[in-house]
Chains A and B, each alone.
Chain A
């Protein structure tokens, strides 16, 4: 799904903000630290409880913030909304409770645990030096195939090994797939880089690629 989160190569954003600030503090504000701690702990717990929650599903939850909010809210404020939506979706609490700022009833219970689906792994289709083209289209709700790379041709730089396939993981299916570092010439990506020797490397899943 091509939501506003897919920012690579978008133009018109202007200078990088906060470059000159002293940003050595781990968290500039206390509430940001607490959002972070709560999110990390909640994720660990949901994973352990085997509710079908995955990091890719959570990424998709953030991607579904309304585009205007996605672009303008503080990073950690987005996580607050993401964690509230997650808690409601999991059945841990209801929307009115977050709006009221207090729990209505006692302890939560999950509906039922989701059986973990089997993990499959396929051997790598590509080797370092192979030329590959990224798929042009994605039809899933979540993908880690960035828009600016679709249809572009690159070279396999190295084989990383199997990792959970994100498009499937976002729907609760744990299926591992080979991943690669794919190297692109900037000249093949952007018109203004026509005479540049600069390169871009990114991690790609096997199913994002076809031989070129």
Chain B
């Protein structure tokens, strides 16, 4: 039963950290061994959970949805209006009703997603977030110095483009839909999906050039 006792867990953290081995992998081993031996979790279930996660979630899910949005005006309207329904229509294997909202880059707006209070990210659809997204520097700076952060990713916005930062605080997650690159008129949906990068869906990258995506 949860105690909801804030000071109690703070004491537990201090005691655990001072008595546990320093090596994170050994700490994990202790966690897993005790939970399994206590009958709280089963080893096999952990393994199969990981297999299913690696197979079903990852940036490819977002990339497929965005490629469809680039080629189908009805789908883009649906994606804007009801993002979970758009995901469900295209990707039956993703969690139904996953609370996600697509935000669209335009010629005058660039979107950037951060979570300043923890590291909220659409983990259930796009997979694990990159290390930099979880860093204290990104969480601290993205809301105050977004253009400085973008420059460190090699992203320099043209004159007349405003930044819109999304600080993800509730149960809803955000995904950036980049603009379709010029010169891709005859590309297939699969080829287009191959252009969409994870960083573009977070917003640290703006331009997807065909040459860059193919590299």
Residues of A within 8 A of B (CB): 1, 5-11, 13-19, 21, 23-24, 26-31, 33-38, 40-42, 45-46, 51-54, 57, 59-62, 64-66, 69, 71, 74-77, 80-81, 83-93, 95, 97-103, 106-108, 110-114, 141-142, 144, 146, 148, 160, 163-164, 170-172, 179, 186, 189-190, 196-205
Contact call A45/B172, Cβ cutoff below 8 A: no
Residues of chain B within 8 A (CB-CB) of A17 are 131-132, 135, 137
Give me the interface of B with A, judged by CB distance under 8 Å. 1-10, 12-17, 19-20, 24-35, 37-41, 45-46, 49-50, 53-54, 58, 116-119, 127-128, 130-132, 134-141, 143-144, 146-147, 149, 152-153, 162-172, 198
| Contact (A34, B1) CB under 8 Å given A1-B6, A8-B167, A101-B29 | no
**Complex-state Cα separation, A90 to B24, whole angstroms:** 23
Once the chains bind, are A198 and B163 in contact (CB under 8 Å)?
A: yes
Q: How far is the CB of A116 from chain B (nearest CB, A)?
A: 12
A19 and B132 contacting across the interface, CB-CB below 8 Å: yes
On whether A200 and B143 interact (CB within 8 A), knowing A16-B138, A19-B132, A26-B127, the answer reads yes
**CB nearest neighbor in A for B46:** A37
Q: State whether B170 touches A179 (Cβ < 8 A).
A: yes
B128 touches A7 (CB 8 A): no
Q: Is the CB of A64 within 8 A of B2?
A: no
Main SS of chain B's interface residues? helix
A28 CA to B37 CA, complexed, in Å: 27
Report Cα–Cα, A180/B15, bound state, in Å. 40
Contacts of A27 in B (CB 8 A): 128
Given A61-B9, A90-B1, 20 new contacts (CB under 8 A): A7-B136, A8-B144, A16-B153, A17-B137, A29-B25, A41-B49, A64-B10, A69-B13, A69-B17, A84-B12, A84-B30, A85-B9, A87-B34, A97-B34, A107-B38, A108-B38, A144-B170, A163-B171, A201-B164, A203-B172
Cα-based distance from A18 to B162 in the complex (angstroms): 26
Bound complex: CA of A84 vs CA of B72, how far in Å? 48
| Set of chain A residues within 8 Å of B19, measured between Cβ atoms | 95, 99
Q: Is the CB of A92 within 8 A of B149?
A: no
CB pair A85 B169 closer than 8 Å: no
In the assembled complex, the CB of B138 is this many whole angstroms from the nearest CB of chain A, namely 5
Nearest Cβ on chain B to A121's Cβ, whole angstroms = 15
Using A8-B144, A17-B135 as known contacts, say yes or no to A110 and B152 having CB atoms under 8 A apart.
Answer: no
Q: For the complex formed, measure the closest distance between the CB of B16 and the CB atoms of chain A, giving whole angstroms.
A: 5
24 A-B pairs in the complex with CB atoms less than 8 angstroms apart? A7-B116, A7-B136, A16-B137, A17-B137, A18-B131, A18-B135, A29-B25, A30-B25, A37-B49, A38-B31, A59-B118, A66-B17, A74-B24, A75-B134, A89-B2, A89-B8, A95-B19, A101-B26, A101-B33, A103-B37, A146-B117, A170-B4, A200-B143, A202-B167
Chain A residues within 8 Å of B53, by CB: 26, 36-37, 40
